Structure 1
Amino acid sequence: MLEKNIEMYFNKQIKKMGGLSRKFTSPGQRGVPDRIAILNGQVYFVELKRPGQKPRPDQLAEHRTLAKHGVKVYVLDSKYAVDVWLENLKGATF
């Protein structure tokens, strides 16, 4: 399965739940997560990958930078991972 298929699925599922999914680009800054998802008043940074694929070194460096500022990046590598992540969000309390 291609990453773009997982990304399209992610977008569809977020929209179905009433949320927003925006492509994240930051000119001049490599390795930023693919998507910013907004759901139930919360903001999430999400990196989407093909099954079994891991983030590149520049992406991991950016994830660490965001973590230093209290922000988690979720890495999802399948439709199943998207479904599990979204199901976990449904049960979360903020």
Structure 2
Amino acid sequence: MQKISEYKIEEHLVKAVKAHGGLCIKINTTSMTGLPDRLLLLPRGKFAFVEVKRPGIKPRPIQVKRMNDLKQLGFQCYVLDSLKQINFIIEEVTANEV
């Protein structure tokens, strides 16, 4: 059985967020390494950061640090490495109070 690629997981995430009426913005920055791959913007002001990985692959230490920094500021951060997690993440983000 072939494992799904990071690209395919990210592609499914973008489509799922769009289906929920949101935007899934790719974060490309040269000013700060280790930021999560995507910023989820969902209806009613809901948002979160998502680092996308191939199944079983863990974030690099700098990525863990950046996500911890963001969490300390009060932002939700997720590591996504399976298609099954996508709906859970969207539901959890939309359920939380702003």
Report the TM-score, using the length of structure 2 for normalisation.
Answer: 0.85
- Output the aligned Cα RMSD: 1.4
Identify which of 22, 27, 52 aligns with 2:25.
Answer: 22
Instruction: Indicate the residue corresponding to 2:62 in structure 1.
Output: 58
Q: How does 1:1-94 map to 2 (within 5 A)?
A: 1-40=4-43, 41-89=45-93, 92-94=95-97
State the identity as a percent.
39
Total equivalences in the alignment: 93
- Match of 2:63, SS state, is helix
Q: Structure 2 stretches of 5 or more lacking a match? A: none
Q: Describe the SS at the equivalent of 1:81.
A: helix
Comparing 19-28 and 31-40, the one that deviates more: 19-28
Unaligned ranges ≥5, structure 1: none
Q: Normalized against structure 1, the TM-score is what?
A: 0.88
